[in-house]
Every structure is written in C-alpha cells, then in structure tokens.
Copies of this chain bind each other. A is one copy, B any other.
Amino acid sequence: MAVQSKSDPASRIVPVPFTAVVIDDGFWAPRQRVNRERTIPFEYRQCKETGRIDAFRLDWRPGQEPVPHIFWDSDVAKWIEAASYSLATHDDPALDALLDEVIALIAAAQQPDGYLNVHFTVVEPGKRWTNLRDAHELYCAGHLIEAAVAHFQATGKRTLLDVLCRYADHIAETFGRGPGQKRGYPGHPEIELALVKLYRCTGERRYLALAQYFVDERGQSPHYFDQERLARGETISIFGPAFSRMYTHEYNQSHKPVREQDRPVGHAVRAMYLYSAMADLAGELGDAGLRAAGERLWQHLVERLMYVTGGIGTSRQNEGFTADYDLPNATAYCETCAAIGLVFWAHRLLQLDCDRRYADVMERALYNGVISGVSLEGERFFYVNPLASNGSHRRQAWFDCACCPPNLARLLASLGQYVYSQGDDEAVVHLYVQGEARLRLAGQSVTLRQETRYPWDGQVRLTVRLEEPARFTLKLRVPGWCREATLAIGGKAVPMELERGYARISREWRDGDAVTLDLAMPIERVYAHPRVSADAGRVALQRGPIVYCLEQVDNGPDLEAIALPRDARLEATFEPELLGGVVTISGFGLRRVVEDFAGQLYRSAPARVMPVPIKAIPYCVWENRAPGEMAVWLTEG
C-alpha cells in the first residue's frame, strides 16, 4: 500500500494509511465488522439484483426495463472501492474472486477509444459528452478511477487500473484548452479528486494536470453549461421555479471561477468533492490561491451552514445549501454523502494545516451525521439525516439513486486513515479510537497503541513501542469540545504545550513509554447562534463528540412538546445492553399538555406544563428500535 505523496512543501503531514491502522474499540470496530460481513455483501446483492452490475454486459436493448441509469456505474465503482479496502485489511478469497469477475465485466465494456460508460454506450449512444451538467459521465469516471486505484493498492492487480488509465487518457484528449478539445468540466465534481489519486498511484503528472484543468476551468466565461445547453437546443422549462432552481450555476458551483468563490452554494455533495479536490491541488501544487479560496469556503461553512451533527445541506430542493443560518431541523437534508464529503474535505485540510479546527469538524461529522446513515445491523440506510422527525423518516434498504450506501461502506472500510497522520519526525493523533498504528519514524518502525473507551469516556492511554529509543514529536489533539484536559507521561502530570489545539510532546521515546490524556467529558448544553431561527430558544445535548437526541420509544410521542428547563439536572449512564452499548443522558423535562389544545391550532394561553422524565440517546443510533419521533433540539425553559 503506497503512502500518499507529499510533494507540497505546505503539506507537512500525511495520513497514516488505513492498512497500517488497526481499530479494536467498542464503537467503530463493531461498525467495521458489520460493514465487512453484512453491508458490503448486501450492497453487492443490491447492485446485482437491480441490474447495475450486469448492465456492464452492454446487452440492454430499447424497451427493456430497467433502463441503465446515468448514475449506475458509480454505484458499482463505490462498491468495488469498498470491497477492495476490505480486502486490503481482511483476506477473503471469495471476495477477491468476485471483484475479479466484476472488474472483467467492466473491462470488457470499455470501448475501443477508451470510453467507458454504460448509459451512454447502450441507452443514448449518440449523446456522449453532450450534457456534462446533468449526465454524470465524468462523475462516474471519477468513481471508477477511485475504484481502480483502491483495487490496485489492495491487490496489486492492474486490470482495472489499466482500464481506467486508458479512460482517463481518453478524457484528457477530449477535454482541455487545446484545439478541438471541449472546454467542459463535470456538473458533479468527483473526477478531480479521483485524478489526484490516480496521479499519486501512477506518478503520471498528466492526471494531476487534468484535475487542475477541470478545477480551474469551472465557472469561466463564456459559461460552458450555457453553451452546451444551447447546443442541445434545450428551451426553458415550463415546469416552473421548483424545477428550474436545480439548474442554476450555483447548483453545481460553476457560478464563478473557484478561486473567487467565498461561500458554499448549491448541491452539498458536489461542493464537498470539489473543495476536496481544491485542497488536494493546493497541497500538490503549493497553490496558495486555491488554499485561500478553500479556507474562505471552510470558514463560511462551519460558521453559518453546518448542523450540529456535522450534517450539511439544508434543502431537499437543491440537495444543498440555502441562506446563512438557515438550518431547519425536521426538513434538514443532510445527505449522508454530504457529511462523508465533509470528512473528506476536513481530512485533506488537516494534512495541509494541522489545526484542530478541521479535526473537530471531521470528528463531529463522523460520530454523528455520517454514521447515522447506516443502521446498526448494516443493511438499512438514511439518504437524508434530519435533526427532527415526526416518525415518518425511516432507513431504507436501497435507493433508486443509491450513492449513500456504498459511500458509507468505503468510508468505514478505510476509516483507519482518519485517525493518525505522520510527518518528518512527528506522529499526530487526530481521533481517539482504541487500536494500533504502525508508522515509520526516525528510521524505524514505531507502533502506537491507543487504549480508551472513547467516545464514552475521555481517558486515553497511548503506549509507544519501538526497537530503539528515538527522538520525535507526538501530537495529541485536544478536542474543541473539551474544556479541561490534563496530560501525564509515565503517570506524571506534565504541563500541556498546545499547538493549534494539539498537545505537543517532543522528547526521546523509549519502548513502553505511556502518555495519558484525560479529557473531561461532562454533559454539555449546546446553543446555536442567535441567527439560527430554527434553534432560537432551543438547546441540544452533547457529551464528548456525541450529539444526543430524544426518541419517541423512550419519551413518548409529541417530543416537540417537551421543554428542558435551564436548571434541569442531567445524568450520563453507560448502558451496555442498549444499542450496542451507549451512554444515555437522563433527567426531567417539562411537557406541554397537548390535550389543552384539543381542536385548536392557536389559542391565547400557553399550554400547561408537567414534569416528565426524559432520556436522550446518541443521535447516530436513532431509528434502530421502534419507529417514532426524534428531536435533537429541545425548547429550553
């Protein structure tokens, strides 16, 4: 497994690859096992049964149902990526063979000129590259490239990688600023970050250059999507504003050149994939302009557009961003893929600048709005992750547009890469997850062993294993949620030297040296900025990185009628039998008497209130028991 390249002087650290990280904690390890044993096989069956895999046989004929959809290739690609990651850490000959079989199908579907897309080969063969805005050809290509890199790195087999290099070369011939080339770019960013991976994997700089072209051509004038639309002879839709608003240039972040963009707009997943590529390029090229644009976008996102769960994207309409501070709870879109995209982006920024701001958001998304996307048993998924529900929101086994399930699978199978980074003579711990990492530092193999019950407890013990004593720096993140942290080395308290939120320990390490970080983890009340109208007068509960919610199964119906008094005493309890073992929060709230309003929607007296016991569970595990209402933000008072 190749370590990611580190050609940029601005990029001081790189992730420790997931193949060098073992997770054996109580929170993520069970999720990874379920992902490996249930989710990945389940998603293969779904791809198979819905025709997504066999579509690569190219034997579809007009009139047949189902019609291979423009997104289908990407679903299979993400499954290959997830399965490859799984294979990289857990030997599985049957899965290996299955991957070879699927890959052979894909390879056979490649056209003589290198083109590779099922829909535009069999369904609309004359329409290749005529609708970059909507048709997802380059998006599918990007996911196939990511799959190819993953499969090569997991198995050393070049079949898919060679296929995708040919396709990428074909794309590089088709698009660009040269004569006869189309000056297009994808409506749905994705291929940009994939091309950076392909460059890192192959060392071929032309793939980096193509990524750079796609990113920088975006939003230039004259506008490619306008020209393309006119070339298609497409007229303005008669279907009114609801429809046409999806097709603003903001929707796909092509409203202006990326270097001029300063607030996230449009479809959230597209935005995250684009910004991730911008961060990649900023690092690879030492490009300060891209870095600065990314930083503006980041600040705007985390200060005005992000839910407390790390979910992003307010509106179902554009699957994306709306106005600043517009964060309604029940109608929050918060697509699982968007939260995953936020993890991708945060993780890239963190390598460029080891500041806990990025890791805090990455952690918030991972522990809340990402992992909420899959059920504990691994075969039901949320596409949308609202922060309140009237009980109608349920996980589903699959979706017509099935981007989220395999995105979760590939994230979980490669989760280890988010925990540690390493630089020249430094090891960095971003996340607290019990397990081990193998690094090369000071010319030797170093193993870091983490022991912790995080996220249920804030005590972390790190043991260093190495052959010879060596001098290097260990950096431990002190999470932004933590107000009181103490550090001890060999059992002796030491003062903390904080560098952008990381406790920095530079010393000579000997085998068996142990560091203890103790993060106070009381129950916190969280308040949103007063401009967040949806949360005005409301409070959320958080403990450590975990955001809580109330579910109907514990608290009865009409959760919106429950207020939490500002002085209510709350208690945290680990419940080993509940939802795989979680800390719950309990106390007393005040319930507004719904019956007072019988037959009235409005009245001139407030409802009477009565005290009721309440119990909150981690948001990420809601909708794993009896279906019902859910609420994160409670009225206070």
Give the B-binding residues of A (Cβ under 8 A).
67, 69-70, 235, 238-243, 246, 302-304, 306, 308, 316-319, 323, 325-326, 328-331, 388, 390, 392, 401, 483, 524-534, 536-540, 542, 558, 560-561, 563, 566, 592-594, 597, 599-607, 631, 635-637
Q: CA–CA, A560 to B566, complex, Å?
A: 20
- Residue on B nearest A596 in the bound complex, by CB: B530
Given A239-B243, A317-B242, A537-B635, decide whether A530 and B560 contact each other with a Cβ distance below 8 A.
yes
- Are B390 and A329 within 8 A (Cβ)? no
Given A530-B558, A537-B637, A560-B533, decide whether A525 and B604 contact each other with a Cβ distance below 8 A.
yes
With a cutoff of 8 Å between Cβ atoms, the chain B residues found around residue A246 in the complex are: 239, 242-243
Q: CA–CA, A599 to B243, complex, Å?
A: 35
- Residue on B nearest A522 in the bound complex, by CB: B604
With a cutoff of 8 Å between Cβ atoms, the chain B residues found around residue A530 in the complex are: 558, 560-561, 592-594, 597, 607
Given A304-B601, A537-B538, decide whether A238 and B70 contact each other with a Cβ distance below 8 A.
yes
| A605 in complex: contacting residue of B319, B527, B592, CB < 8 Å | B527
Q: CA–CA, A388 to B401, complex, Å?
A: 34
- Residue on B nearest A330 in the bound complex, by CB: B533
With a cutoff of 8 Å between Cβ atoms, the chain B residues found around residue A536 in the complex are: 537, 560-561, 563, 592, 635
8 cross-chain CB contacts under 8 A: A242-B319, A303-B599, A306-B601, A308-B602, A323-B392, A326-B390, A527-B607, A529-B600
Known: A243-B246, A483-B604, A530-B560. 16 other contacts (CB 8 A): A67-B235, A241-B401, A302-B601, A308-B602, A325-B390, A326-B330, A331-B331, A524-B604, A525-B604, A527-B603, A527-B604, A534-B534, A536-B561, A537-B537, A537-B563, A606-B636
Q: CA–CA, A367 to B405, complex, Å?
A: 50
- Are A594 and B316 within 8 A (Cβ)? no
With a cutoff of 8 Å between Cβ atoms, the chain B residues found around residue A538 in the complex are: 537
- Are B635 and A527 within 8 A (Cβ)? no
CB A77 to nearest CB in B, in angstroms, measures 19
Q: For A239, A330, A594, A604, which residue has the most chain B Cβ atoms within 10 angstroms? A: A604
CB A433 to nearest CB in B, in angstroms, measures 23
Q: CA–CA, A533 to B392, complex, Å?
A: 15
With a cutoff of 8 Å between Cβ atoms, the chain B residues found around residue A531 in the complex are: 558, 560-561, 594
- Residue on B nearest A392 in the bound complex, by CB: B323
- Are A602 and B529 within 8 A (Cβ)? yes
With a cutoff of 8 Å between Cβ atoms, the chain B residues found around residue A325 in the complex are: 390
With a cutoff of 8 Å between Cβ atoms, the chain B residues found around residue A606 in the complex are: 525, 527, 539, 566, 636
Q: CA–CA, A240 to B527, complex, Å?
A: 35
With a cutoff of 8 Å between Cβ atoms, the chain B residues found around residue A600 in the complex are: 303, 529
Given A316-B317, A601-B532, A602-B308, decide whether A243 and B240 contact each other with a Cβ distance below 8 A.
no
- Residue on B nearest A390 in the bound complex, by CB: B323
CB A32 to nearest CB in B, in angstroms, measures 29
Q: CA–CA, A602 to B328, complex, Å?
A: 15
- Are B563 and A528 within 8 A (Cβ)? no
CB A196 to nearest CB in B, in angstroms, measures 28
- Are A529 and B636 within 8 A (Cβ)? no
With a cutoff of 8 Å between Cβ atoms, the chain B residues found around residue A306 in the complex are: 601
| A594 in complex: contacting residue of B529, B607, B636, CB < 8 Å | B529
With a cutoff of 8 Å between Cβ atoms, the chain B residues found around residue A604 in the complex are: 483, 524-527, 542
Q: Across the A-B interface, give the 9 residue pairs with the lowest CB-CB distance, nearest first.
A: A537-B635, A530-B561, A537-B537, A530-B592, A533-B560, A529-B597, A524-B604, A536-B635, A527-B606
With a cutoff of 8 Å between Cβ atoms, the chain B residues found around residue A631 in the complex are: 533
| A602 in complex: contacting residue of B240, B243, B388, B526, CB < 8 Å | B526
| A243 in complex: contacting residue of B243, B597, B635, CB < 8 Å | B243
Q: For A240, A318, A323, A527, which residue has the most chain B Cβ atoms within 10 angstroms? A: A527
CB A336 to nearest CB in B, in angstroms, measures 15
- Are B636 and A537 within 8 A (Cβ)? yes
With a cutoff of 8 Å between Cβ atoms, the chain B residues found around residue A561 in the complex are: 530-531, 536
With a cutoff of 8 Å between Cβ atoms, the chain B residues found around residue A534 in the complex are: 534
Q: For A560, A593, A599, which residue has the most chain B Cβ atoms within 10 angstroms? A: A560
With a cutoff of 8 Å between Cβ atoms, the chain B residues found around residue A528 in the complex are: 601-602
- Are A316 and B242 within 8 A (Cβ)? yes
Q: CA–CA, A390 to B306, complex, Å?
A: 18
With a cutoff of 8 Å between Cβ atoms, the chain B residues found around residue A235 in the complex are: 67
- Are A602 and B527 within 8 A (Cβ)? yes
- Are B592 and A303 within 8 A (Cβ)? no
Q: CA–CA, A540 to B601, complex, Å?
A: 13
With a cutoff of 8 Å between Cβ atoms, the chain B residues found around residue A597 in the complex are: 529-530
CB A310 to nearest CB in B, in angstroms, measures 11
CB A570 to nearest CB in B, in angstroms, measures 13
| A240 in complex: contacting residue of B302, B331, B401, CB < 8 Å | B401
CB A297 to nearest CB in B, in angstroms, measures 15
With a cutoff of 8 Å between Cβ atoms, the chain B residues found around residue A602 in the complex are: 308, 526-529, 540
CB A599 to nearest CB in B, in angstroms, measures 6
Q: CA–CA, A239 to B244, complex, Å?
A: 11
- Residue on B nearest A594 in the bound complex, by CB: B530
Q: CA–CA, A235 to B483, complex, Å?
A: 57
Q: CA–CA, A55 to B539, complex, Å?
A: 57
CB A61 to nearest CB in B, in angstroms, measures 15
With a cutoff of 8 Å between Cβ atoms, the chain B residues found around residue A607 in the complex are: 527, 530
Q: For A303, A529, A540, which residue has the most chain B Cβ atoms within 10 angstroms? A: A529
Q: CA–CA, A597 to B328, complex, Å?
A: 19
- Residue on B nearest A299 in the bound complex, by CB: B599
Q: For A304, A532, A533, A563, which residue has the most chain B Cβ atoms within 10 angstroms? A: A533
Q: CA–CA, A600 to B325, complex, Å?
A: 11
With a cutoff of 8 Å between Cβ atoms, the chain B residues found around residue A599 in the complex are: 303
